[in-house]
Amino acid sequence: MRRTIRFTVNGDPVEVEVQPHWPLLRVLRDELELTGAKMGCGEGECGACTVLVDGKPINSCIYPALEAEGKQVLTIEGLVSPDNELHPIQQAFLEKAGVQCGFCTPGMIMSAKALLDMNPNPTEDEVRHALAGNFCRCTGYVQIVESVRHAAELLSKNTKRTGTGE
């Protein structure tokens, strides 16, 4: 029953044997040992498993692994630069105390990444709308929203400095 699929994870091509019912999260965590994305509810409610597929955030706990075939998957591990520097969104979560227990953080950051890719300067309402599917059971939402808005500032400074933005 196992089938071989090929896709890209954090820029690297991978080839994995999967069972047809496996969700993408299982492949990421158990087969590829990328344990940043978390198994929370397992039902697409809590967002702890959020990763980007072709740039779009999805709940990887209910996303069929076989649908990842040929696609680009980005996980929290893929945000760190090659010389091991934190991504500005990660840096912002540290500076604004957007992390308490940390379980929801990878999902929060991936949702924030998808938002900021599309909307570099979101309002508080837009941040809350974009992160509505990510639960923080420590309830540290205020700092999380502040972290995302701070990330937007850091990213805009980076863009100005390096001139790579469009």
Partner 1 sequence: MRTFEYLKPASLKEALELLGRHGEKAKLVAGGTDLMVQWKKKIISPEYVISLRNVPELSFVTYESDLKIGSATTHRSLELSPVIREHFPILLDAVSNLGSVQVRNSATIGGNICNAAPSADTAPPLLALDAVVHMAGPQGERAVPIAEFFKGPSRTVLASGEIVTHFSIARPSPNTGMAYWKHTRRKAMDLPILGVAVLLSFGPDGKTCTKARIGLGVAAPTPMRARKAEAFLEGKAIDRAVLDEAGKTAAAEASPRTTIRGSQWYREEMIRVLVRRTGMICMERAKGAAQG
* Site of interaction with partner 1 (CB under 8 A): 1, 19-21, 23, 42-45, 47, 50, 56-59, 62-64, 66-67, 69, 111, 114, 129-130, 132-134
Q: Choose between 83 and 107: whose C-beta lies nearer to partner 1.
A: 107
Q: Choose between 71 and 156: whose C-beta lies nearer to partner 1.
A: 71
**Which of these, 39, 38, 33, lies nearest to 12 by C-alpha position?**
33
According to DSSP, residue 15 is labeled: E
**Least CB distance from residue 82 to partner 1, whole Å?**
28
Residue with tokens 């072709």: 54
Burial class (CB in 10 A: 0-12, 13-18, 19+), 121: exposed
**Least CB distance from residue 108 to partner 1, whole Å?**
12
Q: Choose between 63 and 93: whose C-beta lies nearer to partner 1.
A: 63
Residue with tokens 């929060």: 108
**Least CB distance from residue 144 to partner 1, whole Å?**
14
Q: Choose between 93 and 135: whose C-beta lies nearer to partner 1.
A: 135
In the chain, which ranges are continuous DSSP H helix? 24-26, 88-95, 105-118, 124-130, 141-162
**Least CB distance from residue 16 to partner 1, whole Å?**
15
